[in-house]
Chain A
Amino acid sequence: MTLAAQRWPAFAEPIAGRKRPGARTVYRMELAKMRRLIRVRVIAVLAIIGPFLAVAALHLQSATPGDTAFGQWVHVSGFAIPMVVLGFAAQWIAPGLAAVVAGDIFSAEDHFGTWKTVLTRSCSRGQLFTGKFLAALTFGLALGLLLTVTDLLAGLLAGTQPVVGLGGQLVPAGHATLLVVLSYLSDLPPLLGFTALAVLLSVVSRSSVVGIGGVVAITFLLQVVTLLSLPAWAQLALLSTPFQAWHGFWAQPAFYGEFSWGLVTCAGWFAACAAGSWLVFRRRTIGVAP
């Protein structure tokens, strides 16, 4: 059928039941688009099978990662395994994985040239920004929670013997399960902070390479900076520091000061990145050059 074959009577009628869409609609659309992305599916599969592969790899070798927290106990207790994975993955990998979506969710529209398409619909810039930002956060949260579940399950599969805590105390299975979950949850705030940072880089640079690669580079840089003898306040201000807050949960006696400071640090980074992203996005000229 051709363009001219029929008239467009249905399209000329008054709009029926149109309710102005809001940020929630944008959020839903972004999640629908996200589900279609191959890289999102790959990350989800890796997050599910990765911990089990890690358990299998640890079982195949007699040596232990003794220089990391809980490393010496990986052949003794299954609870040590998710903590070793957390100590490594949270600081080096998770920010980059979260940035795969957050660092691309705005700049992909620049790359595809689709800002003009979506901004000529019924949603405002504010609604688009909110919906996209929430979708990026949702991916970061979902990734963190998925890793919590799969890492814990992989650990339980390896064994439920009591584990030795960081204060040398023996932690029984039930309490160890709780501490593993709390440790993973305590890494969500910095993960969301890195998500907001990825969004900022994506908005400012309009480039997914910068949005994703920038976060990976900053993650490495922060790890290097952590090795320097910085004043305590400077250490606490780094976005990577809260990833270590769970150490206090496993101490004897337990302490939560670092976790509380970490929340403040993450909130500060998050607010600054979110506000900066919005200010840049709100003033942006879309799609027309002289």
Chain B
Amino acid sequence: MVAVTEAGPAETGSAEALSAVAARGVSKWFGPATALDAVDFTVRPGDVHGLLGPNGAGKTTLLALLFGLILPDEGTLRLFGRTRAEAGAGWLDGVGGFVETPRFYPYLSGRRNLAVLAGLDGGDAAGLIDAALDRVGLTGARQQKVRGYSLGMRQRLGLAAAMLRRPRLLILDEPANGMDPAGTRDLRTALRHLARDGVTVVLSSHDMAQVEEICDSVTVLHQGRAMYAGRLDAMRARAPDPVWRLHTSDDGAAAEAARHLPGVKTGARDDGGLVVFAAQDRLDDYVLHLGRGGIAVRGLVLDVTPLEALFFQLTGDTAEQAKEVS
């Protein structure tokens, strides 16, 4: 596996000064365990940036470092061009969000929780509470004790709490976790709106498809290392063929037919059927070829998108293992 970054060392100086987030050689150890190993990545202002990786890749550790909850053992981290030492008490000015599932005081209502947090923010944050609750769809539950909230409601309350800080940088750890499909869709739209309003968003996820839909750039982490850091469109250009799941009336003959077609590779699946590696146009030719050969296609499903395939390559997982995990 080879780590890939878009910007070379010569470009990094000016990029760091202009970036919302810049990490250079950031490492973190917990005893003998390496959580992060010389991670480099940059986030441009107004971008939605995805931190992508399987469980244990180091995403949450990296977000905790951004919030200053823990300190890096090596390397430099800058928010809006300033290190923590340079920013001092103002390190988190303009930064909002949460690490892991947002947590609140269960014996207080959603509204009172926000009032406590707004108090800790100072200024006019308290005046935004009702509007924030309205935006995240929790107006009806604002007087309900948080102990009765579902995971999805807590995620929404976490977003509202983050927005009270009027962030220029919004950091969210698995924000769609626990949300229903409609909530996830709304979240994506909300994040795009925020980015359009100039807010930089950094979010972690283990779901490539989700990141693909809303992110401009991405950092792929694996075992604490940044395997890719850069624009999503550049990543797309490197992506291998997608992976398809195929069921036919005669899988043996279908596999034999693929051998004679350029750009199409097949393999047997443990649960029956074939796994096919092919770009969309090659796959179209293959399906027509099967039809002409009297082999019926009974099922054809996109199993792994090109970016997912690249993600699995970068993180060393096979598509099958990754599917099992997800």
Contacts and interface: CB of A to CB of B under 8 A. Distances in A.
B124 A2 contact: no
B150 to A, nearest CB: 15
A28 interface: yes
Contacts of B232: none
A119 B67 contact: yes
A8 B139 contact: no
A232 interface: no
A36 to B, nearest CB: 6
Interface residues on A, range: 35 or more
A228 interface: no
Nearest to B88: A124
Contacts of B100: 113, 116, 287
B117 A16 contact: no
A11 B129 CA distance: 11
B108 A33 contact: yes
A15 B112 CA distance: 21
B165 interface: yes
Contact of B159 (A3, A113, A116): A3
Contacts of A112: 103-106
A21 B119 contact: yes
Contacts of A14: 166
A132 to B, nearest CB: 12
Contacts of A1: 134-135, 137, 139
Interface residues of B, number: 68
A117 B103 contact: yes
A4 B69 contact: no
Interface in B145-174: 156, 159, 161, 163, 165-166
Contacts of B108: 33, 36
A123 B121 CA distance: 7
A285 to B, nearest CB: 6
B136 interface: yes
Interface string B237-280: 00000000000000000000000000000000000000000000
A93 interface: no
Most chain A beta-carbon neighbours within 10 Å: one of B35, B68, B166: B166
Interface in A1-42: 1-21, 25-26, 28-29, 32-33, 36-38
Interface in B183-214: 183, 185-190, 193-194, 196-199
B92 A117 contact: no
A19 B122 contact: yes
Given A4-B186, A36-B108, A119-B69, A12 B198 contact: yes
Nearest to B113: A117
A286 interface: yes
Contacts of B186: 2-5
Nearest to A7: B193
Nearest to A25: B119
Given A3-B156, A28-B119, A11 B139 contact: no
B69 A288 contact: yes
A33 B104 CA distance: 12
Nearest to A113: B103
Contact of B123 (A19, A114, A119, A286): A19
Contacts of A285: 69-70
Contacts of A8: 135, 163, 190, 193-194, 197
A25 to B, nearest CB: 6
Given A15-B166, A114-B105, A117-B117, A3 B123 contact: no
Nearest to A6: B135
B107 A286 contact: no
B67 A120 contact: yes
Contact of A287 (B99, B122, B185, B198): B99
26 contacts: A2-B137, A3-B135, A3-B136, A4-B187, A11-B131, A12-B197, A12-B199, A15-B123, A16-B123, A20-B89, A29-B116, A29-B119, A32-B115, A37-B107, A112-B105, A114-B104, A117-B117, A119-B67, A121-B165, A122-B92, A286-B69, A287-B99, A288-B60, A288-B99, A289-B30, A290-B30
Given A1-B135, A3-B187, 11 more contacts: A2-B182, A4-B190, A16-B124, A29-B116, A114-B104, A116-B103, A117-B102, A117-B161, A121-B92, A121-B165, A122-B121
Of all A-B residue pairs in the complex, the 8 with the closest CB atoms, nearest first, are A18-B123, A4-B189, A3-B186, A290-B30, A113-B103, A21-B122, A121-B120, A290-B33
